[in-house]
C-alpha cells in the first residue's frame, strides 16, 4: 500500500506535532522536579533533610533538619516541637550561652557544655553547622 504525497506530508506534520507535544510535557515534568518550593536547581542540595540527635544527660531527642542548620536553631526546632525546653542568654561579642535545659540550671560551679560526637566543642552553638551523623550532647560540668 502506497501513501500519496499529501498524506505523507500530513502524517509527517502530525508526527512532528506529537513529538513536540510530548517533548513539552517532559520539560514541564523536569521543571517541576527542579522547582521545589521555588528553589533554584543550585539550592536543592541545601534543603536535603537529615535527622539530627541532641542528647541531654543521656536522653536522646531527634528531629529532621535542613542540612545548613546550626545547633541553636536545631534546639529551637526541638523546643517548638515540645521535645525539650531551654533558656539561653546572648552576650555581646561572644554569642549565645545555654543557661538551662529541661529545668536544670547552670550555676556558679557547673555550666552546660556541649560535645559533638563525644568531642568537646570549641565553637559557639550559633556557629557550628550540624553535619549528617553528628550527635550533639549537652552535659552539666565544672569548668
pLDDT of residue 14: 79
84 or 19: which leads in pLDDT:
84
User: 48-142 architecture in CATH?
Assistant: Beta Complex (2.170)
Residue 52 buriedness (CB in 10 A; 0-12 / 13-18 / 19+)? buried
Q: Which residues contact 74 (CB under 8 A, 6 or more apart)?
A: 52, 54, 63, 65, 130, 136
Q: pLDDT tens for residues 31-79?
A: 444 444 555 545 544 445 578 889 998 899 988 887 778 999 999 999 9
Q: What's this model's pTM, rounded to 2 decimal places?
A: 0.63
77: nearest Cα among 95, 59, 103, 50: 50
Amino acid at each position: 500500500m502506497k501513501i500519496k504525497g499529501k498524506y505523507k506530508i500530513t502524517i509527517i506534520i502530525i508526527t512532528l506535532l506529537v513529538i513536540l507535544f510530548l517533548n513539552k510535557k517532559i520539560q514541564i515534568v523536569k521543571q517541576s522536579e527542579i522547582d521545589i518550593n521555588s528553589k533554584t536547581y543550585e539550592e536543592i542540595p541545601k534543603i536535603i533533610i537529615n535527622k539530627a540527635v541532641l542528647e541531654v544527660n543521656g536522653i536522646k531527642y531527634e528531629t529532621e533538619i535542613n542540612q545548613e542548620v546550626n545547633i541553636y536553631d536545631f534546639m529551637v526546632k526541638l523546643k517548638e516541637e515540645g521535645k525539650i525546653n531551654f533558656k539561653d542568654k546572648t552576650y555581646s561579642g561572644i554569642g549565645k550561652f545555654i543557661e538551662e535545659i529541661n529545668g536544670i540550671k547552670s550555676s556558679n560551679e557547673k555550666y552546660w557544655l556541649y560535645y559533638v560526637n563525644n568531642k568537646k566543642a570549641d565553637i559557639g552553638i550559633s556557629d557550628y553547622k550540624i553535619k549528617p551523623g553528628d550527635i550533639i550532647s549537652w552535659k552539666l560540668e565544672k569548668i
